[in-house]
Homo-oligomer: A and B are copies of this chain.
Amino acid sequence: MLKESTVDIPHDCGDCPIRHRAVCARCESDELEQLDQIKYYRSFEAGQTLIWAGDKMDFVGSVVSGIATLTQTMEDGRTQMVGLLLPSDFVGRPGRDSAAYDVQAVTDIVMCCFRKKPFEDMMIRTPHIAQRLLEMTLDELDAAREWMLVLGRKTAREKIASLLAIIARRDAVLNMTKKRGPLVFDLPLTREAMADYLGLTLETVSRQISALKNDGIISLEGKRRVTVPDFNRLLEEAADDSDGGMLV
């Protein structure tokens, strides 16, 4: 199995797919040039662990493409996913030198990394970066709090429906699919990863997906491709009162 490789085909920030959503979103061209000095790309294969909790981290970075997870593991092996990293999401924390969570590639993934020390120095000089990072962190905090409600108070069926709604929503935004008609998307996560996200067992995840299928809320093509004929019905199942706000 291939390990990790430092890609040396340098992207030009100008046509970077996450240019306008990542931590560099607000940067002017001179600021981008400075970032360019300290950046490098790394790619990983699906299944690899990019970072182990407790590891020394000498970089921070952004997911350029692919999906990764942030997970916490207890001594006895129980694990809880605490974040799902999508393109443009930020990894690492300025001012901390060891990783707090395991980071694992769910799909093949490319990251745009910055050496930590120079990045921290630059953050002080460049308010645009700190501003954008604050905004992104506040968004993540909101997402984490939303997830606390799911974990603490929702039933297994509601949890699954909530996760499907989130993935469907994200997919609709990324792929700019037509608003009308059934949504179709692929589940990026295994049943086990979904279980770790939702605080369930993989058996319960499987059963609830089957139940939603039997009730006509979703249909499946293979194990991973999901069709949602009526998004509002899915939201009802998720007991989600913020009715699809994002989808507009």
Enumerate chain A interface residues (CB-CB to B < 8 A): 70, 72, 74-76, 78-80, 82-83, 93, 95, 100-101, 124, 127, 130-131, 133-135, 137-138, 140-142, 144-149, 151-153, 198-199, 239, 241
Contacts and interface: CB of A to CB of B under 8 A. Distances in A.
A166 to B, nearest CB: 15
A210 to B, nearest CB: 22
A239 B74 CA distance: 8
A191 to B, nearest CB: 16
A72 B146 CA distance: 8
Contacts of A146: 72
27 contacts: A72-B145, A72-B146, A72-B148, A72-B149, A74-B149, A74-B153, A75-B239, A80-B149, A80-B152, A80-B153, A82-B149, A93-B138, A95-B135, A101-B145, A127-B130, A130-B134, A134-B134, A137-B137, A137-B138, A141-B141, A141-B144, A144-B145, A151-B151, A151-B152, A152-B198, A152-B199, A153-B199
A101 B95 CA distance: 29
Contacts of A135: 95
A138 B91 CA distance: 12
A137 B90 CA distance: 14
Contacts of A148: 72, 80, 82, 144, 147-148, 151
